[in-house]
Amino acid sequence: GDSVTQMEGPVTLSEEAFLTINCTYTATGYPSLFWYVQYPGEGLQLLLKATKADDKGSNKGFEATYRKETTSFHLEKGSVQVSDSAVYFCALKAGANNLFFGTGTRLTVIP
Amino acid sequence: KAGVTQTPRYLIKTRGQQVTLSCSPISGHRSVSWYQQTPGQGLQFLFEYFSETQRNKGNFPGRFSGRQFSNSRSEMNVSTLELGDSALYLCASSLESTPSYEQYFGPGTRLTVT
């Protein structure tokens, strides 16, 4: 079945450090891939998406490239800020309009 | 444009009771999906409604049910509550019921079952 495997956390980085959160997936067909972010006490916010192979999603300095050959969608940011501290979820949709989520990665950025 | 709203935001119930949660989608969105978030199981899909019809259902017992009204607002109901139903229940809306459309989430209803 469809599934997402996400890098275990928590991740703690200093401000301005480089961020990578790994995400790989298993799906039939050609899924759409997403990264969502959840701030404390809030719902999920869509961070970026990619709908086909080699697409790059980007938003607020975050990027992720849809790699079909490695079934991956790793999240990257060149310079993290304290305000980026949150839980990040990788997710996919394949065939039907429901999301399969990874387990989430908690990021803490310290000044 | 207003986002997805969910009411109530917090709820405390006792085992055996039932509960109804409400979700108002973004104006113009016709698909509403529900998810359960728990520390142990993470985010799991409950069901999706589109044009008042259930389109898709996750792997949850029949105690979990939902419906959608003609104005696209949706409710979910959990009967005979169990301690394990304590969770954050998230509603998401999208324009259409196809995978390429983004889902926008509400703030959630935190249900505590005692």
Interface touch B102/A42, C-beta < 8 Å: no
User: Residue B60 CB: number of other CB atoms within 10 A?
Assistant: 16
Instruction: Please tell me if residue B99 touches chain A, with a CB cutoff of 8 Å.
Output: yes
User: For the segment B6-51, what is each residue's pLDDT rounded down to a tens digit?
Assistant: 999 999 999 999 999 999 999 999 999 999 999 989 999 999 999 9
Q: Token digits for A18?
A: 């480089």
With contacts defined as CB-CB under 8 Å, which chain B residues touch A32?
99-100
Which residue from A40, A36, A48 is spatially nearest to A99, judged by alpha carbons? A36
CB A111: neighbour CB atoms within 10 A? 7
- Which 3-state string (H, E, C) describes B76-88? EEECCCCHHHCEE
Cβ-defined contact of B97 to A97 (cutoff 8 Å): yes
| pLDDT tens column, B39-93 | 989 999 999 999 999 999 999 999 999 999 999 999 999 999 999 999 999 999 9
Minimal CA separation from A21 to chain B, in Å: 17
The pair of three-digit structure tokens given for residue A58, joined into one six-digit string: 């980007």
Residues of A in contact with B105 (CB under 8 A): 36, 43-45
Which residue, chain included where needed, has tokens 């969502």?
Answer: A36
Q: Give A60's DSSP letter.
A: T
Measured between alpha carbons, how far is A62 from A50 in angstroms, rounded to an integer? Answer: 13
Q: What is the predicted pLDDT for the residue at A105?
A: 96
Is residue A3 classed as helix, strand or coil in its secondary structure? strand
| CB contact at 8 A, A37 and A86 | yes
Q: Which residues of chain A approach chain B closer than 8 Å at the C-beta?
A: 31-32, 34, 36, 42-46, 49, 51, 89, 91, 93-104
